[in-house]
């Protein structure tokens, strides 16, 4: 088989009712286990969903200079992070254009686990010359599950036989689940209360079984990428190769973005020594980024009217889309930018999109989004909406 | 004393929707609810420790998406979860199932009748068109066909154009839907009895009619309106039960500045010179307001809150004629374990959807026969859901709640409802379920039986009618609740009606409450 399956495949494989799989970093993971991803989506917001996120690239960075290396690579301040903290961070090239984004888990004073969407081993090595640091690719030996939703903590507390109420947002702890050593981090890609559980790949199947057995009475539902895609748009979380292109893959300059343009200004440290892209980012911050990454809410009445004009009830994409869609000004003639992801939020009953727009377009401003109605290109009214669309208190509580 | 712009009587979902819209328009609003909590018939209560019962209404059929958006209800906790399948156990041990997946449903129907499996798609297409045709009416203030006022004429013209635009085939279908019984209408399409029984059962909910009674075909359409919303999915089960819907609307209303007072029953609406000026509480306190809105049913709104000399005699007669005739009851159970049905043994995805106890048309019609002559059905039609399978928070982990909607249980029972009759009714329900799911009875931890009389006592709904007045054709649109008074205003100036007893009424839709608020804001502009 040319594509790999993850360590959880002995369990996830038989669950797939429609044999719907998606490629992710050379692996296949479930798009949806059931024929429709509906119930899997609702589990994220209503009870708890279990995702196999093993395909993430994972690196262990250890040694005296581990923190120095990471601080040189990423934009967040790693040196200031405490053991037990997890940092979400982008990293950039020298021009301050984003290469990738991921997390850094501070496992010890000199032990860090970095996750990325693209292979990053070479980039870490390139930046490590002269440093006392060991970089190990643990992508294949570390498996990971993401347990997301309002009931995730209750389930995990029983499975790990310990109180997790003190585990704060973006913190981690080591634990044992049925004697399997795991790391539990309060992280995820859904914008909800949720955790990720990191485990040695050899223990993947018993970990899955333990969580499913504990979680089923709480409504724990295995879920695939289609459900995750809707949740991450509601949470306003961006996706590489969809919402932005890695500067290392971009073919032309205009395909690149800076973290400041992607709404990640809060991750760009102003209090640390030299790091990749620092000068360019400092300058950009001073003059203000020319682009922004923002939410759009498509006006329902406007969309309904476009369909009524051809005698149809409004049709909505049944899955989140990830194509580039032009955004115009109110008059409908001047293009202001483009949306990169969008979809219907079953929870919010809103048609939402993530878009790149000039920085001058403030929340509440009215724009037009291109929609195809019965083979014809039309424009629906949309409002600039601050991200995230959905931000429940329980996420951080 | 504080004078409010508006006082809303009744904190059911429609009253709360009206209050929220008025408060959103910067009016000072006070909602007065007689019970200790808001919700009316949309309440969730922990009747047995750890088990939350959706006491009365249990599914959210058609809550208008615009209300969800306008009031930002998800921010206030609203989450509507899909309810996808329906399984009808048959008396011969077989079943009929409708699943969320179209192909699966078609294949299941094919098992019963290859012909029906194909007809099902065509029927679905027609009903889709018909629902689309009728749907705009739900969002419309009914024009009065006897009036020559410009607004009414414009409304009638719009309506006329709308129907002309349907074309011949669909107009004919509409007339059939308006006049035929659901059994006859379905006979034109299908040969599978259990399919016709299950579909027609949806046409009798909340009415005092049977599947062979003319006029019931129209109600079939209501179900397709939810499906029209397709991906919008207005149809489903609210997380936390229907009480959570009420709480979300109340929270939204408060966020706009509305005040909500519970344990504050209203005994009278104050009228001076033909104009409403406030209310008198059961405690004797008086509150004054620019306008007063009643979200109670028409009988209580006009015959109880007002002195009849404030109203035209003919109007009073019309309201007295308005039919309630509650015909349904509810049995809520706390379960140790889920029941296994003979037709589909074991516990599985079938428990995440509904079980319809409607094995044949004769079965459902016979259930009606009992009621026609003043008895509860010995073997009733039932719509069963397991809320804890959809929202596990409804019961302790691993335990379950079961919600059984039961028809028929006539309000006017021979000899009247007594405690003994209530328990006998509960036994009939449990025994009928037991016949389809042997061993079920032993899993019951707690049983709550609700008769139409109980519905009336607890929620105030006259004769226990769950739709605040029968959803029969002669009580819809410009006839709801009375000819000439279907536009939310009343013969008393400054006094409005906003409950399910007004157009379009029925179900947790919120449309009546919203349209009433729109009307009030227009009058006050």
Q: Is the pLDDT of residue B483 over 90?
A: no
CB pairs under 8 A between A and B: 60
Q: Are strands B400-407 and B266-272 parallel, antiparallel or unpaired?
A: unpaired
pLDDT the model gives residue B16: 98
Q: Does A309 touch chain B (CB under 8 A)?
A: no
Task: Please tell me which of the candidates B74, B84, B391 has its beta carbon nearest to residue A347.
Answer: B74
Domain spans of chain A? 4-56+139-223, 58-138+258-287, 291-393
Cis peptide bond prior to B220, omega within 30° of 0:
no
**A350–B398: do the CB atoms touch at under 8 Å?**
no
How far from B175 is each of B137, B179, B201, B218, B498, CA to CA, in Å? Answer: 16, 6, 20, 9, 29
Q: Residue A264 contacts by C-beta under 8 Å, 6 or more apart in sequence?
A: A75, A90, A98, A101
Give yes or no for a contact between B372 and B364, defined as CB atoms under 8 angstroms apart: no
The pLDDT score that the predictor gives to residue B235 is 65
| B284 contact partners, CB below 8 Å, separation of at least 6 | none
* Residue B233: predicted pLDDT: 46
Residues on chain A touching B66 (C-beta within 8 angstroms): 300
Closest CA to B470 of B346, B359, B320, B326: B326
Q: Say which residue, B469 or B416, is predicted with more confidence.
A: B416
φ/ψ (deg, to 5) at B107: -65, -35
* pLDDT value, residue B226: 58
Least CB-CB distance to B397: which of A45, A218, A313? A218
- Phi/psi at B194 (nearest 5 deg)? -65, -30
Query: Is pLDDT larger for residue B126 or for residue B514?
Result: B514
Nearest Cα of chain B lies from the Cα of A132 at a distance, in angstroms, of 50
Tell me the backbone φ, ψ of residue B498, rounded to 5 degrees: -140, 5
Mean per-residue pLDDT, B132-137: 75
Fold exhibited by the domain A291-393: Elongation Factor Tu (Ef-tu); domain 3 (2.40.30)
Chain B, 365-404: which have a CB under 8 Å from a chain A CB? 391-393, 397-398
Residue B524, pLDDT score: 83
Nearest-CA residue of chain B relative to A48?
B392
Compute the mean pLDDT over every residue in chain B, rounded to the nearest whole number: 91
Residues B338, B343, B346, B348: what is their CA dihedral angle, to the nearest 10 degrees? -80
Measured between CB atoms, which of B101, B233, B398 is closest to A346? Answer: B233
What's the rounded mean pLDDT across residues A287-299? 97
What residue in B sits closest to A38 (Cα-Cα)? B82
pLDDT in tens, B82-125: 888 999 999 999 999 999 888 999 999 999 999 999 999 899 88
B3-41+65-78+240-323+468-524: CATH number: 3.50.50.60
Q: Is the pLDDT of residue A12 over 60?
A: yes
Listed in order, the ranges of chain B carrying CATH 3.50.50.60 are 3-41+65-78+240-323+468-524
Instruction: Pick the range with the lowest mean pLDDT from A58-72, A230-244, B177-191.
Output: B177-191
Task: Please indicate whether, in this complex, the C-beta atoms of A151 and B233 are within 8 angstroms of each other.
Answer: no
* Rounded distance between C-alpha atoms, residue A207 and residue B510, angstroms: 46
Cβ distance of B231 and A344 shorter than 8 Å: yes
- How many percent of chain B have pLDDT more than 90? 71
Lowest mean pLDDT among A137-151, B173-187, B317-331: B173-187
The highest-level CATH class for domain A58-138+258-287 is: alpha beta
Which has more pLDDT, A313 or A293?
A293
Q: Which class for A393: exposed (0-12), middle (13-18), buried (19 or more C-beta within 10 A)?
A: exposed
Taking residues B138-166, report their average pLDDT.
76
Residues of A in contact with B393 (CB under 8 A): 47, 151
Residues of chain A neighbouring B391 (CB-CB closer than 8 A)? 46-47, 219
For chain B, say whether A173 makes contact (Cβ under 8 Å). Answer: no
A218 in contact with B, Cβ within 8 Å: yes
Q: Does A213 touch chain B (CB under 8 A)?
A: no
Mean pLDDT in residue range A341-355? 94
> DSSP labels for A319-363?
S-B-S-EEEE-TTS-SEEEEEEEEEEETTTTEEEEEEEEETT--T
Measured CA to CA, the distance from residue A140 to residue A153 in angstroms comes to 27
Measure in Å the smallest separation between the Cα of A76 and chain B Cα atoms.
31
B79: nearest CB among A151, A315, A347: A347
pLDDT of the residue at B232: 47
Q: How confident is the model at residue B179 (pLDDT cuts 50, 70, 90)?
A: confident
Q: Which chain A residues touch B69 with a CB distance below 8 Å?
A: 300, 348-350
CB–CB of A307/A122 below 8 Å?
no
Give the sheet arrangement for strand A134-137, strand by strand.
A86-92, A98-108, A111-116, A57-62, A134-137
Give yes or no for residue B225 having a pLDDT over 70.
Answer: no
What is the DSSP secondary structure assignment for residue B301, as one 8-state letter? I
Look at residue B431 in the predicted model and tell me its pLDDT: 98
* List of chain B residues whose C-beta atoms are within 8 Å of the C-beta of residue A390: 74
DSSP single-letter state for residue B299: I
Chain A nearest CA to B400, separation (Å): 10
Q: Does B74 touch chain A (CB under 8 A)?
A: yes
Alpha helices in A235-353 (DSSP H): 278-287, 300-308
Q: Which residue has the tokens 């042997």?
A: B438
Closest CA to B498 of B476, B474, B522, B517: B517
A110 touches chain B (CB under 8 A): no
**CA distance to A357, B98, B197, per residue, from B356 (Å):** 51, 11, 10
* pLDDT above 90 for B219: no
pLDDT of res. B509: 83
The reply to whether residue B231 touches residue A318, judged by beta carbons under 8 angstroms, is yes
* Side-chain half-sphere exposure of B197, counting CA atoms within 13 A: 28
**Is the confidence at residue B464, as pLDDT, over 80?**
yes
ipTM of the complex: 0.90
Global pTM value = 0.93
Residue-level pLDDT at B231: 45
Helix, strand or coil, per DSSP, at residue B495: strand
Burial class (CB in 10 A: 0-12, 13-18, 19+), A274: exposed
Architecture of domain A4-56+139-223: 2-Layer Sandwich (3.30)
- Interfacial B residues in 419-448 facing A (CB < 8 Å): none
Interval A89-119: pLDDT, tens: 999 999 999 999 999 999 999 999 999 999 9
Distance CA A116, CA B236 (A): 39
* The pLDDT of residue B227 is above 60: no
Residue A42 CA: distances (Å) to CA of A222, B81, B229:
11, 7, 17
Collapsing DSSP to helix, strand or coil, B394 comes out as helix
Instruction: Determine which of A144-148, A205-209, A271-275, A290-294 has the lowest per-residue pLDDT on average.
Output: A271-275
Instruction: Work out the angle between the directed axes of helices B114-138 and B217-228 (0-180°, nearest 10).
Output: 80
Residue A293's pLDDT is what? 98
pLDDT of residue B472: 78
Q: Is B90 helix (H, G, I), strand (E, B) or coil?
A: coil
In this predicted structure, what is the pLDDT of residue B278?
Answer: 97
**According to the model, what pLDDT value does residue B82 have?**
86
- Secondary structure (DSSP) of B2-29: -EEEEEEE--BHHHHHHHHHHHHTT--E
Q: Provide, as residue numbers in chain A, all residues whose Cβ is less than 8 Å from the Cβ of B74.
A: 347-349, 390
CB of A200 within 8 Å of a chain B CB? The answer is: no
The confidence score (pLDDT) of residue B304 equals: 96
By CB atoms closer than 10 A (0-12, 13-18, 19+), residue B229 is buried
Q: Report whether pLDDT(B261) > 50.
A: yes
Mean pLDDT of chain A: 96
CA A166 to chain centre: 24
Among B74, B82, B239, select the one facing A38 at the smallest CB separation.
Answer: B82
Put simply, whether A393 touches B (Cβ < 8 Å) is no
**For residues B445 and B367, what is the distance between their CA atoms, to the nearest angstrom?**
27
Cβ of residue B228 closer than 8 Å to a chain A Cβ: yes
pLDDT band, residue B143 (cuts 50/70/90): confident
Are residues A42 and B231, on separate chains, in Cβ contact within 8 Å? no
Interface touch A46/B79, C-beta < 8 Å: yes
Position B134 scores a pLDDT of 76
pLDDT at position B230 is 46
DSSP states of B191-232 as a string?
A: --HHHHHHHHHTTTTTSS--TTSBTTHHHHHHHHHHHHTGGG
Q: Which residues pair with A32 in a beta bridge?
A: A20
Distance from C-alpha of B213 to C-alpha of B408, rounded to nearest angstrom: 14
Model pLDDT for residues B21-76, shown as the tens digit of each residue: 999 999 999 999 999 999 999 999 999 999 999 999 888 877 888 899 899 999 99
In the DSSP assignment, the letter for residue B35 is S
Check pLDDT > 70 for residue B228: no
């Amino acid at each position: 088989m040319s594509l790999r399956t993850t360590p959880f495949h002995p369990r996830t494989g038989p669950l797939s009712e429609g044999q719907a799989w998606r490629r992710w970093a050379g692996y296949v993971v479930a798009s949806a286990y059931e024929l429709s991803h509906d119930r899997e989506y609702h589990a994220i917001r209503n009870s708890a969903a279990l995702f196999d996120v093993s395909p993430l690239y994972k690196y262990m960075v250890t040694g005296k200079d581990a923190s120095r290396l990471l601080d040189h690579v990423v934009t967040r301040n790693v040196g200031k992070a405490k053991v037990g903290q997890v940092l979400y961070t982008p990293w950039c090239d020298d021009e301050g254009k984003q290469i990738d984004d991921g997390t850094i888990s501070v496992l010890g004073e000199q032990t860090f686990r970095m996750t990325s969407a693209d292979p990053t081993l070479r980039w870490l090595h390139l930046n490590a010359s002269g440093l006392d640091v060991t970089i190990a690719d643990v992508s294949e030996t570390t498996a990971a599950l993401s347990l997301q939703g309002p009931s995730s903590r209750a389930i995990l507390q029983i499975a790990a036989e310990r109180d997790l109420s003190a585990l704060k947002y973006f913190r981690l702890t080591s634990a044992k689940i049925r004697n399997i050593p795991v790391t539990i981090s309060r992280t995820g890609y859904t914008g909800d209360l949720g955790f990720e559980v990191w485990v040695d790949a050899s223990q993947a199947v018993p970990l899955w079984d333990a969580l499913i057995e504990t979680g089923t009475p709480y409504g724990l539902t295995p879920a695939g990428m289609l459900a995750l895609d809707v949740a991450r748009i509601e949470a306003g979380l961006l996706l590489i190769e969809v919402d932005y292109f890695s500067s290392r893959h971009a073919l032309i300059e205009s395909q690149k973005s800076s973290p400041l343009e992607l709404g990640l200004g809060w991750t760009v440290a102003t209090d640390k020594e030299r790091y990749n892209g620092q000068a360019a980012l400092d300058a950009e911050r001073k003059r203000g980024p020319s682009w922004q990454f923002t939410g759009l809410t498509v006006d329902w009445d406007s969309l309904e009217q476009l369909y009524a004009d051809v005698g149809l009830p409004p049709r909505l994409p049944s899955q989140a889309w990830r194509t580039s869609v032009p955004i115009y000004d109110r008059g409908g003639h001047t293009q202001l930018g483009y949306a990169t992801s969008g979809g219907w939020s079953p929870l919010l009953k809103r048609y939402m999109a993530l878009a790149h727009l000039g920085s001058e377009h403030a929340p509440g401003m009215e724009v037009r989004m291109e929609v195809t109605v019965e083979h014809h290109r039309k424009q629906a009214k949309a409002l600039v909406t601050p991200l995230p669309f959905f931000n429940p208190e329980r996420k951080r509580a | 004393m504080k004078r409010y712009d508006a006082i809303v009587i009744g904190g059911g979902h429609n009253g709360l929707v009206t209050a929220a819209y008025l408060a959103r328009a910067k009016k000072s609003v006070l909602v007065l609810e007689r019970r200790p909590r808001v919700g009316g018939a949309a309440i969730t209560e922990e009747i047995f420790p750890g088990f939350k019962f959706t006491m009365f209404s249990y599914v959210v059929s058609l809550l208008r998406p615009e209300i969800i958006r306008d009031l930002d209800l998800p921010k206030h906790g609203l989450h509507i979860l899909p309810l996808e399948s329906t399984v009808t156990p048959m008396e011969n041990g077989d079943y009929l199932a409708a699943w969320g997946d179209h192909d699966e449903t078609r294949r299941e129907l094919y098992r019963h009748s290859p012909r029906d499996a194909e007809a099902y798609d065509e029927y679905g297409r027609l009903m889709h068109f018909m629902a689309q045709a009728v749907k705009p009416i739900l969002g419309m203030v009914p024009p009065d066909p006897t009036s020559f006022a410009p607004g009414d004429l414009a409304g009638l013209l719009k309506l006329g154009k709308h129907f002309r635009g349907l074309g011949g085939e669909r107009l004919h279908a509409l007339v059939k839907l308006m006049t035929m019984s659901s059994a006859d209408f379905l006979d034109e399409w299908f040969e599978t009895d259990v399919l016709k029984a299950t579909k027609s059962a949806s046409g009798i909910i909340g009415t005092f009619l049977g599947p062979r009674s003319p006029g019931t075909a129209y109600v079939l359409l209501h179900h397709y309106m939810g499906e029209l919303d397709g991906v919008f999915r207005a149809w489903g089960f609210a997380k936390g039960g229907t009480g959570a819907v009420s709480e979300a609307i109340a929270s939204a209303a408060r966020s706009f500045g509305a005040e909500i007072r519970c344990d504050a029953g209203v005994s009278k609406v104050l009228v001076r010179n033909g104009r409403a000026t406030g209310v008198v509480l059961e405690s004797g306190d008086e509150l004054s307001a620019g306008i007063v809105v009643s979200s109670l049913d028409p009988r209580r709104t006009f015959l109880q809150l007002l002195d009849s000399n404030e109203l035209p005699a003919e109007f009073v007669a019309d309201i007295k004629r308005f039919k309630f005739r509650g015909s349904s009851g509810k049995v809520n159970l706390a379960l140790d374990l889920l029941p296994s049905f003979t037709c589909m043994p074991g516990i599985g995805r079938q428990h995440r959807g509904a079980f319809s106890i409607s094995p044949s048309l004769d079965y459902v019609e016979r259930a009606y026969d009992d009621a026609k002559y003043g008895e509860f059905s010995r073997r009733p039609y039932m719509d069963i859901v397991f809320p804890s399978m959809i929202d596990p928070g409804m019961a302790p982990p691993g335990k379950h709640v079961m919600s059984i909607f039961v028809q028929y249980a006539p309000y006017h029972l021979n000899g009247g409802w007594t405690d003994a009759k209530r328990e006998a009714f509960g036994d009939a329900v449990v025994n009928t379920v037991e016949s389809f799911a042997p061993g079920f009875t032993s899993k019951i931890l707690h049983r709550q039986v609700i008769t139409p009389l109980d519905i009336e006592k607890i929620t105030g709904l006259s004769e226990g009618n769950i739709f605040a007045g029968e959803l029969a054709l002669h009580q819809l649109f410009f006839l709801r609740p009375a000819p000439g008074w279907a536009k939310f205003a009343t013969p008393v100036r400054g006094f409005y009606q906003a409950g399910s007893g007004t157009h379009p009424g029925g179900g947790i839709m919120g449309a009546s409450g919203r349209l009433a608020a729109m009307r009030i804001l227009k009058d006050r502009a």
